[in-house]
Every structure is written in C-alpha cells, then in structure tokens.
Structure 1
C-alpha cells in the first residue's frame, strides 16, 4: 500500500465511522422516547429497556451502512477535490479509478461485515426484541391438526395427501399415497385408506383397510386390512409447519424452512424474498460507494451541505427502488432473487458510469 493509499483509506474510514455513528445516533434517539414511554407505563423494566435498545442496533447498522458509506465517500473525495488533491493526482498520471481503489475495497469489506450481521446477529436480536416487546416467543407452536395436508416423502418419489391429520396422536383420515417414477412424471402406484395411524415406536405409517392400485393399468385394487411399508415413515410433524416470521431466521434456517414448506405444498414466496434480500442488500454498501466517490470528485463551493443532501437523496432513492422491487417479488411478478439484485445492478451501472465521467 502506497502512502497516498494509506492517506485516502484513513480519511475514508474516519468519514465512514463518523457518518455511521451519526446515523445510528439519530435512529436511536428517535426510538429513545418510545422506550422511555414503555418504561413509564410499566411495560419495560430498566434492564429490559437497555436490552431492547441494544437489540435494535444490528437492524439500524444494516439499514444505515449504505448511507454511511455514501456520505463517507462524498466527504473524503470532495475534501480532496476542494484541496485540489484530485487534480494534482490526475496531473501526475494517476487515474481516478486508481485513486478510489482502496475506498472501494474497504466498502466491499464493510459489505461483508453487514452480510455477517444480517445473517447472524440480526435474526437473534429481532427475536429477542420482539420477545421483550410482546412478552411472547416469535416461533409459536405449530397447529395440532391440519386439513388437506400435502407432503412429498423424503425416502423416495412419493407424495402423501391427507384429508385430516393430527400431528400429536399420529391419526389421519382419507389417506392417499401416490408413488411416482424417478422422473416424477408418471404414476406407478396409488394407495388409499380411510384412516391410518403413525406408529411412533416403529416410525412407520400403518394404514387400515387399504386399497392398492396399479398406476400403469386399470384393474381391481389389492385390498389389505393393515398396510405398511418401511419407507413410508415420514413423521406427522412434517405435515404441519410452524408459523415463523422469515426475518427472525438465519440463511440456513430460511433454506430449511423453504424445503419444509415446499414439501407440504405451502407458499414459500415470503421466505424466498427474505432469502434473496439477505444475499443482495448487504452489498448495497459496496455498490453505492461508486456513486459517492464519483460525485464528490469535483470541487463545489458549499460542498458539505451538498454532500449531505446528495447522500440522503441517493440513499433513500436506493431504498425506494429496493422496496419497489421487493413488493413486485412478494406479489409474484418477479423472481425473488432477481428482484433483490435489480436495484444493485441499476445503481452499480449508474455508479460505474459516473466513475468514468470523473476521469475527465
């Protein structure tokens, strides 16, 4: 790292941290009055109020990190521009892309930190925050019974259709099990039964008065008073998913929930949108740095006020675009992952365009 790189990096980190502290402070102060009211009303104890405020910090850090990077970038480069340092470096043959190299790399590291906070600290903090606020646990117990339950079996190409199932007793009514081929496009066997019960000790379904039909030809079914096969051992709990808020889950837990919901034929759109945002939003800090660094490259009198206005306008502009595409994804108009990355791509293209404009 050259001296000029250390100088620029030091100023950028300093400006970023000052901006981050300022934005976090503003958001915390805005919530402080509400916490004081909760304490005065007796909803929170003094200890709970402190924990409540601390559990808000991960979410605030995630939300304001792009704004802090943007303002830090504008402050750093505009300060250099006002001191004619940018012009001097360009005159000496150093390109603008080379000047901003280390701030961009630092922004990428910041995005990595935000990704970690978003995946590990934020879900835990949100669960704790909601638990304190509502005096209830976010992950509630799943319903005991479910009508019209659907499940894709884990031990082969078969699906269950249950008219009614009780996950605690293991009793089910109007059961249908459909065996399919390896490509999952042809029925090989259908098993029906008016009722059945899951044997929790042997871990297998036992169907009463079952009819077994050959899927390839129409023929009289084989009747069995009690039908059981070892592979039909999917537990009743798998037929009924828990009511969990996606934001309270880590990426690993989100993926697991998506698999479970798909296996019972549920709607996974909300979980997929949250998963897409977990991968896309943390990199906003890296992407938006291109805009801040390029827009601050020219000296303008009264730059401080302009920098603040630009950071707020561009930052909230990103959030508006991001929220718009998130709404389209939730409503099924866009793939959740594509919808999550479109705002990043738009702002990255605009940022790179302004970086090339700043060379001249």
Structure 2
C-alpha cells in the first residue's frame, strides 16, 4: 500500500465511522421515547431497556451503512478536492479511478460485513427484540391437524392430497396419492382411500379400502382392503409447517423453509423476496460508494453544499427505488432475485458514469 493509499484510506475510514455513528445515534435517539414509555408502563426494567436498544443496533447498522459510506466517501474526496489535492494528483498523471481505488475496496469490505450481520446477528436480534416487546419468549408450535394438505414425496415422483391429517396420531382422511412419470408431466397411477394411518415403527402409510387406478389403462383398477408400499414413507410432520417470519431466518433457514413450503404447495413469494434482499441489499454500500466518490471529486467553490444535497438525495433515492422493486417482486410482477438486484445495477451504472465524468 502506497503512502497515498494509506492517506486516503485513513481519511475514508474516519469519515465513514463518524457518519455511521451519527446515523446510528439519530436512530437511537428517535427510539428513546418508546423506551421511556415502556419503562414508565412497567413493561421494561432498566436492564430490558438497555437490552432492547442493543438489539436494535444490527438492523440499524444494516440500514444506515450505505448512507454512511456515501457521506464518508463524499466527505473524504471533497476535502481533498477543496485543498486542490485531487487536481494536483491528476496533474501528476494519477487517474481519478486510481485515487479512489482503496475507498472502493474498503466499501466492498463493508458490504461483506453488512452481509454477515444481516445473515447472522440481525435474525437473532429481531427475535429477542420482539420477545422483549411482548414481555415473554414465545415458542412457535406447529398445529396438530391440517386440512387440505399437499406434499410432494421425498423418495419418488408422487404427491399426496389429503383432506385432513393429524401429525401426532398419523391418522388421515380422504387420501389421494398420485404417481407421476420421471418428467412429472404424466399420471401413472392414482391411489385413493377414505382413511389411512401412518405406521411410525415401519415408517410407511397404511391405507384402508384403497382404490388403485392406472393412468395408462383407464379400464384397469384394483380394490384392496389394505394397501402399503415402502416408498410412501413421508412422516406426517412433513405435511404441517409453521408460519414463519422471513426476517427472523438465516439464509440457510430461508432456503430450507422455501423447499419445505414448495413440497406442500405453500406460497413462497415472501420468503423468496427476503432471500433476494439478503443477497442484494448488503452490496448497496459498495454500489453507492461510486456516487459519493464521483460527486466529491470535482471541487467548484460554493457548490459543496449542492453536492452534499445531491448526494443525500441520491442516497435516499436508492432506498425508494429498492422499496419500489421489492413491492413489485412481492406482488409477483418481478422475479424476487431480479427485483433485488435492479436497484444495484441502476445505481452502479450511474456511479460508473459519474466516475468517468470525474476524470476530467
């Protein structure tokens, strides 16, 4: 690392840290009224109040990190520009892109930290925060029974359609099991039964008075007093899933829950939107750094306040665009992953354009 890189990196980290502390401080102050209200109502002890504020920090850091990077980068380069350091470096033959290289690298590292906090600390802190507000730790328990259950089998290409199932007793009513071909586009066999029970020791479904129909021969059918095949071994627990708050799940848990919801025919849109945001939003800090560095790179006397205003507007503009595309994804108009990355792509293009303009 050259002396120039150390100088710029030091100033950028300092400006970013000050901006981050300022934004977090503003948010914490805005929450003090609620904390005081909880204390006066007797819902919080002083220890609970401190714990409550601490659990707000991960999400606050995630939300304000892009703005802190934006203002930090702008303050760093603007200060250098006002001291004519940028012009001097350009005159000596150093390109603007080389000057801001290390702030961009540091912004990428900050994005990595945001990604880590968003996937690990935030889900835990959100659960604790909600439990504190409720006044108790709430255990989530799956319902014992479910109506109109749907499940794609784990061991082969077949699906269950069950009118009613009890996960504790393993008893089910009005059962249909549909066997399909390998491409999952043609019915090979349909098995129906008025009732059945899951044998927990043998790990298979036992159907009573079963009717078997063959898809390739509509006239061929069988009736059996009892029907059981080892491949139909899906546990009743798999038919019933908990309703979950996507934001309280890690990426690993989100993927697992999405697979489970798909297997029972559940709506995964909200989960997919959250998963898309987990991968896209943390990198806003990296993307938005281009804007701050480019806008701070050209010093014209009397226009620093204008640059600051434009910079802040662009920063909040990112949140507006991101929220708009998130809404489109949630309503089914866009693929959740595409919708999550479009704001990053838009602002990266704008940032690169402004960065090229700053070369002159």
Classify the TM-score, shorter chain: over 0.9
Q: Could you say what secondary structure the match of 1:205 adopts?
A: strand
C-alpha distance in 2, partners of 1:311/1:248? 32
- For 1:205, the equivalent position in structure 2 comes to 205
Taking structure 2 as the reference length, the TM-score comes to 0.97
C-alpha distance in 1, partners of 2:17/2:112? 16
C-alpha distance in 2, partners of 1:139/1:328? 33
Deviation at 1:176, TM superposition (A): 0.4
Deviation at 1:310, TM superposition (A): 3.3
Do 1:78 and 1:303's aligned partners in 2 also have CA atoms closer than 8 Å? no
Do 1:67 and 1:311's aligned partners in 2 also have CA atoms closer than 8 Å? no
Deviation at 1:203, TM superposition (A): 1.6
Residues 213-222 or 136-145, more deviating = 136-145
Taking structure 1 as the reference length, the TM-score comes to 0.97
Deviation at 1:351, TM superposition (A): 0.2
> For 1:1-360, what aligned pairs fall within 5 Å after superposition?
1-137=1-137, 140-301=140-301, 305-306=305-306, 308-360=308-360
C-alpha distance in 2, partners of 1:209/1:91? 90
Deviation at 1:48, TM superposition (A): 1.2
CA deviations 1:300-324 (Å, max 9, x no partner) are: 4456644543343122110000000
Task: Please tell me the root mean square deviation across aligned C-alpha atoms, in Å.
Answer: 1.3
CA deviations 1:265-296 (Å, max 9, x no partner) are: 01000000000000000000000000000000
Q: How many residues align?
A: 360
Deviation at 1:201, TM superposition (A): 2.0
Deviation at 1:355, TM superposition (A): 0.2
Do 1:138 and 1:244's aligned partners in 2 also have CA atoms closer than 8 Å? no
Deviation at 1:49, TM superposition (A): 1.1
Q: Which runs of 4+ in 1 moved over 2 A?
A: 135-140, 300-312
Q: Could you say what secondary structure the match of 1:44 adopts?
A: coil
C-alpha distance in 1, partners of 2:193/2:7? 76
C-alpha distance in 2, partners of 1:144/1:236? 10
Deviation at 1:326, TM superposition (A): 0.2
Residues 280-289 or 216-225, more deviating = 216-225
Cα–Cα, structure 1 residues 141 and 255, in superposed 2: closer, same or farther, change >3 Å?
same
Deviation at 1:38, TM superposition (A): 0.3
Cα–Cα, structure 1 residues 136 and 270, in superposed 2: closer, same or farther, change >3 Å?
farther
C-alpha distance in 2, partners of 1:352/1:328? 26
Residues 292-301 or 128-137, more deviating = 128-137
Cα–Cα, structure 1 residues 138 and 76, in superposed 2: closer, same or farther, change >3 Å?
farther
Do 1:174 and 1:195's aligned partners in 2 also have CA atoms closer than 8 Å? yes
Cα–Cα, structure 1 residues 359 and 321, in superposed 2: closer, same or farther, change >3 Å?
same
Q: 5+ unaligned residues in a row in structure 2: which ranges?
A: none
C-alpha distance in 2, partners of 1:199/1:137? 35
Do 2:291 and 2:311's aligned partners in 1 also have CA atoms closer than 8 Å? no
Q: 5+ unaligned residues in a row in structure 1: which ranges?
A: none
Residues 198-207 or 128-137, more deviating = 128-137
